[in-house]
Every structure is written in structure tokens, then in C-alpha cells.
Amino acid sequence: MQVNPKSVKSHFEKSMDKYDENATVQKFLAEILAAETTKLSNSYGKILELGCGTGLLTKEIVKKIHFESYTANDLSEKSKKYLDKILKNYTFIKGNASKIQAGRTYNLIISNAMFQWFSNPEPIFENYAKILNSDGILAFTTFSPENFPELNAITGLSLDYKSNDELKKILQKSYKILKIETFKQVLEFSTPLQLLYHLKNTGVNSLGDKKWDFSDVKNFCRKYQEKFSKTTLTYTPILVIAQKLD
């Protein structure tokens, strides 16, 4: 499925106020990503966080990692409202993280649950290597092709997720992979409608750009109940920590 950045921005801006209370998987990933990054070092001079959103990962970094300067990026400038409550001094770069052109280099580039939106990540990762200092770290979480099988089974829609092997092949040109691990988290809901509300409140755009009307929602719920005995949504995140090659 092709991703429209304007659509992604619109979905997330609408969900921001309800995001933190609904994004249980993303919160778990933020915690483990910060913790695993800290195992390498608890101090990084200059940090660039991509797709900062409401600051779930930012909060974890502030708690666990020492830094000299912090730069945050997001498609939406509304993110600043959330980051202002977490960070005292930081630089904000509004725009598409896949096209970011930073005017400085960083010791750590980190991102949580955002890289799955990149349909062609290879040149993007190469660009990140250019703005990392020598031995700099790229740390991120994304999702595997097994993500949201329930939705794919009913709608046929899916993002162009990359597998572990595909990520390794892409990254090894510019990075040494220090850690790559896949997780699985299954959320259970009382009804398919509740599942749809979860997707809406986390800004997930895996159901395409088409605006659903009442009949679309009704048909989805009916098909879901016909196909599955329980209402679940399966997340299959991948955590990656890589070091820039000299």
C-alpha cells in the first residue's frame, strides 16, 4: 500500500490527544528501545529523534540517557506542544523524516514505530549514515510483514513492511548490526468496532486513505466476526540497533 505523508500527518494529528492512552504497544517499544540503547552507552552527545509524535520515546530517553543537545523531528508541528512539557531546550525540525537534511551530525539517531511508513528505506538509511558521527548509532523499532494479519485477511491492505533479513541486507551497506530482535504482542478487544477505535486513536493508517462510512464499518465488523472467533490485533515489532561503519 502506498503511503501518503499528508494522510499520515492528518491521521496522527487527529489521534494525538488520545494516543498515549491507546498506544500500549508503542509505549512498550519506547521503553525497550531506550533501555537497549542505554546498554551501549548512557551518554550520547547529540541526539536526533525522528517521528517524535507525543513524546513517548522522548520521555524514556530523558529518563535513561544523558545528552548535550536534543533535536526532534515530526511531520506535525503539534508535536511541540507535547515535547515542550518534556524538554527544556531542544531544536524542532518539522517535515518528512525520510527527507531530513540536518545541518549538523549526531551521535544517536533514534525512532520508535515510524520507519514502517518508508516504502524504500535503503537511500534513507544511507542518508542517516551521512549525518551520524563516526561510530554513531542508529536505533529504531518498526514492524515486520506479519504485522496486523487480521486486517490483511479482511481488507487485503498492508504497508510495505520489511522483514529482519531485508533490513539486515539494507543496513549492512552502511552499518554494523549490533542487535535485531522481533517481538509479538496480541491485543484483544471486546468487539471489532472497539478494534477500529483503537486503530483510529493510535493514528494507524493500515486501512487505506478511503474515508469509511457506516456501511464500511458494518461490513468490516461482520467479516471479522465471520472469520475470527476472538477479536484480536497482532503486532509484530522489530527492534534494531546498528552502528555506522567507518
Q: Are 65 and 48 in contact (CB under 8 A)?
A: no
Assessment of whether the complete model's pTM goes beyond 0.85: yes
Count Cβ neighbours within 10 Å for each residue of 124-149 and write b for 16 or more, e otherwise: bbebbbebbeeebbbbbbbbbeebbe
More confident position, 167 or 1: 167
Measure the CA–CA gap between 165 and 178, rounded to whole angstroms.
14
**pLDDT by residue (tens digit) across 123-150?**
999 999 999 999 999 999 999 999 999 9
Element (H, E) at 136: strand 132-143
pLDDT category of residue 152 using cuts at 50, 70 and 90: very high
Measure the CA–CA gap between 125 and 56, rounded to whole angstroms.
23
Task: Give the pLDDT score at 77.
Answer: 94
Residues of the chain with pLDDT > 70, as a percent, come to 94
Q: Are 52 and 97 in contact (CB under 8 A)?
A: no
Query: Residue 49 pLDDT more than 60?
Result: yes
Measure the CA–CA gap between 33 and 21, rounded to whole angstroms.
19
Task: Give the pLDDT score at 59.
Answer: 98
**Per-residue pLDDT averaged across 208-235, rounded?**
92
Alpha helix (H) ranges present in the chain?
Answer: 5-22, 24-40, 56-64, 79-83, 121-130, 149-155, 164-171, 192-201, 214-227
**pLDDT by residue (tens digit) across 15-33?**
788 888 999 999 999 999 9
CATH number of the domain enclosing 199: 3.40.50.150
Q: Structural domain tally of the chain?
A: 1
Task: Give the pLDDT score at 6.
Answer: 73
Mean pLDDT for all residues in the chain: 92
**Per-residue pLDDT averaged across 110-131, rounded?**
94
Query: Residue 2 pLDDT more than 70?
Result: no
Residues of the chain with pLDDT > 90, as a percent, come to 79
**Per-residue pLDDT averaged across 164-176, rounded?**
96
Query: Residue 62 pLDDT more than 80?
Result: yes
Question: Which amino acid is present at 56?
Answer: L
Domain that holds residue 121: 5-244
**Per-residue pLDDT averaged across 86-108, rounded?**
92
Would you tell me how many other CB atoms lie within 10 Å of the CB of residue 66? 13
Query: Residue 102 pLDDT more than 80?
Result: no
Measure the CA–CA gap between 43 and 64, rounded to whole angstroms.
9
pLDDT category of residue 12 using cuts at 50, 70 and 90: confident
Task: Give the pLDDT score at 209.
Answer: 65
